[in-house]
Structure 1
Amino acid sequence: MKNPTHDALLLIALLPEAPLRERIRALKEEMRLRFGAAHALKSPAHLTLQMPFRASSSERAGLVRHLEVFARREPGFEIQLSGFDAFPPRVIFIRVLDHEPIIGLHARLRTILLEEAGLAEETTTREIHPHVTIATRDLSETAFLKAWPEFQARGFEASFRVRSLFLLQHSGKSWEPFREFPFRGAEAPGNSI
């Protein structure tokens, strides 16, 4: 890729519907106010399928075409969220119960990204651990030790139907949905991005 300053920073993810995103945003806001961890507020609630990568505008246009075709072949599925988990000592997240549909989707997506969209092997995400982050990076170890026992004992239950995948673009300050790609049989984009 040419000049990185002119390339877009992109990420591919699954996003819950707007009401659930707002519920999760409230948890991220709580992490900011109570534990000083605001970094997770820079993105909407999501499950990452492809970690951030750079693409020029022409590469992005090609990627969009490949993602449109890919998404139209994919069936929707349900994601169940239950409770909290952590990657000590900095990350607290909402736990996803059944990883298999997401891992399968990721594997099929990775094949498209490598074989058709032309992403480099080292750019693509090899393995994923599906989760929805509420605190990361700027959560200090001290704050983690205070927050984690509380969140470990706290309940959280939700589910949502995955009807599309999203291409997000970094604005320089935060991640913003750039494009929604509806799955087979899904209505036109309507996830209220």
Structure 2
Amino acid sequence: MPLYLTAILLPSPLSEEIDDIRKEISSKYNVYAALKPPVHITLYRPLSIPLTTEKNLIQLLKPVAFMHNSFEQKLQNFDSFNNKTLFVHCVKQPILNNLQKDISAVFHKNKLDPDENKSNSSFHPHITIAFRDVTPEIFIPLWAEYKNRKLKRSFTIDRFTLLRHDGKKWQALEEFLLQKPEELKLF
């Protein structure tokens, strides 16, 4: 079964700038897992779904794009999870949380996620720059280097993307433009 990921892909040149940070970390600390996916904010975790369900999943996700307008997202500095994941911190905001909740609802209401316990019940938006192959011995100097490093950027989120893993890398399968219709004015 193919693996699917629902995410926000960052625009160039911001994506390239963060990818350069990932490459710098990989080179310096000999960790490479974070280089595999594109630079992104996960909206729904990687999930194996039968290929026969793919077209249905795309149709189910389309209405979510019509429930949201584009918005500005701020990125600020670096943070970590569990002494093994380093990431760029996304400033929390209700608009992004609502988008993620609406996408999660598609997976849950349509029973696409057999293990809902691993679902995104506690959404913490971030852009991973080092994880999985970061050992505690590597994390200590890595965190020492990045915990006080400053980064402040922003970009417009105007779409989300469904990606499919082709066995070697993630491929963008479908983009969903955020385009909530203007509210109807009744006279």
| TM-score after normalising by structure 1 | 0.86
Q: Which runs of 4+ in 1 moved over 6 A?
A: none
Instruction: Give unpaired runs (5+ residues) of structure 1.
Output: 1-6, 187-193
Other-structure match for 1:119? 112
Separation in structure 1 between the aligned mates of residue 113 and residue 169 of structure 2, nearest angstrom: 25
Residue 20 of structure 1 aligns with an amino acid whose one-letter code is L
Cα deviation digits, residues 53-104 of structure 1 (max 9, x gap): 1112221110011112221232111110010001132111001112432221
The structure 2 residue matched to 1:89, chosen from 61, 70, 83, is: 83
RMSD: 1.7
Corresponding residue SS for 1:53:
strand
Aligned length: 179
Structure 2 counterpart of 1:80: 74
Residue ranges of structure 2 left out of the alignment (5+ in a row): 182-187
Question: Where does residue 104 of structure 2 map in the other structure?
Answer: 110
Matched, 1:40 2:34: yes
Aligned residue number for residue 60 of structure 2: 66
Alpha-carbon displacement from aligned partner over 1:152-179 (angstroms, at most 9, x marks no partner): 1111111111101111111223222221
Instruction: Give the conservation status (yes or no) of the 8 Å contact 2:3–2:46.
Output: yes
Out of 143-152 and 105-114, give the one that drifted further: 105-114
- Correspondent of 1:13 among 7, 10, 15: 7
- Percent identity between matched residues is 28
Tell me the residue number matched to 2:142: 147
Shift of 1:185: 6.1
**Corresponding position of 1:189:** none
Shift of 1:121: 5.9
TM-score when scaled to structure 2?
0.89
